[in-house]
Copies of this chain bind each other. A is one copy, B any other.
Amino acid sequence: MYRIGVDLGGTNIAVGLVNEEFQIVQKKSLPTGADRASEAIVADIATLCREVCEAQNISLSEVDGIGIATPGIANSATGVLVYSCNLPSFLHYPLADTLKEMLGSACDVHIENDANAAAWGEAVAGAAKGTSNSIMITLGTGVGGGIIADNKIYSGFNFAGAELGHIVIEVDGAPCGCGRRGCWEAYSSATALIRMTKEKIEECAKTGRKTIMADAPKISGRTAFDAMRAGDEAAKEVHDKYIRYLAAGLTNIINIFQPEVISIGGGISNEGQSLIDSLLPQVRAEQYGGDRVALTDIRIAKLKNDAGIIGAAMLGV
């Protein structure tokens, strides 16, 4: 049995053929060309679907299901992509039906928001495997979220929910790309960490305080972590501030959902277990119900960049 997962991004389309062990056995990609007409983009998806089958020497009829992970608001019930700021030609577009028609495929075609698909991938085959209630948080350019409740993706009655990065944790705080101020994303994304790092470097420059962060050729989400490990005190302050906000947001997620597992993905998750070790004392001290209840496990996500493809492939299962 094989399934196909499509990760339709604003930059690239990646298509993977996934086997019964949830492994990607073939993978092909093309640039999205997001300013093109939707039909041209779907035609490229169809081509990539055929190519991964050919590469594996199977026919498309041996594929049991196809899923597409898309940015924006995807109506998973109708297969219509409602809106995506990264894919402007897809407004209220019947994405699932169009791909199915182009492929002449008999199997079901599902669509899902990419963050939700990634959460589903982690739940089916990754860090939250074997659980019924899990949350995935992605700490990248933004803070993404996906909710798995009772073995199903939860996205609200209009398929626009699970915007967990857009929970305000500081009323009238730092500006967020969504238009609000004080969103969790404005404090816990890699972008926010880079901002905090730059602010600290400036502050050090003004006061004549030494920090090796100032010597970094380029400031990234790793700069403060690396400098802290090298013993830099200013970097430790940036780290502690970042962890404070990240722990506050994760504790919020626990108080809301009490999931069995929270899996953390995105660039910042490359810090690995030491990130979780820094977070846990604050989370445990603050979470509602204390230790009278079974505790949510916080884990680094497993599937990395493949979570979207694997999750998409497993939609409808």
Contacts and interface: CB of A to CB of B under 8 A. Distances in A.
Interface of A: 73, 82-83, 131-133, 149-150, 152, 154-164, 166-171, 178-180, 187, 244-245, 248, 251-252, 255-260, 285-286, 288-289, 292-294
B73 A289 contact: yes
A259 B82 contact: no
A197 to B, nearest CB: 19
Contact of A293 (B160, B167, B259, B260): B160
B255 A293 contact: no
CB-CB nearest 8 A-B residue pairs:
A156-B258, A161-B258, A158-B293, A158-B294, A157-B260, A163-B255, A160-B293, A163-B288
Contacts of A155: 258
Contacts of A73: 289, 292-293
Given A149-B154, A152-B150, A255 B289 contact: no
Nearest to A260: B157
B258 A160 contact: yes
A161 B257 contact: yes
A294 B285 CA distance: 38
Contacts of A294: 157-158
Given A82-B292, A286-B179, A252 B157 contact: no
Contacts of A179: 285-286
A256 B244 CA distance: 21
A164 B288 CA distance: 10
Contacts of A160: 258, 288-289, 292-293
Nearest to A145: B256
Contacts of A166: 252, 255, 288
Contact of A157 (B132, B161, B255, B292): B132
A223 B208 CA distance: 53
A230 B255 CA distance: 39
A123 B258 CA distance: 22
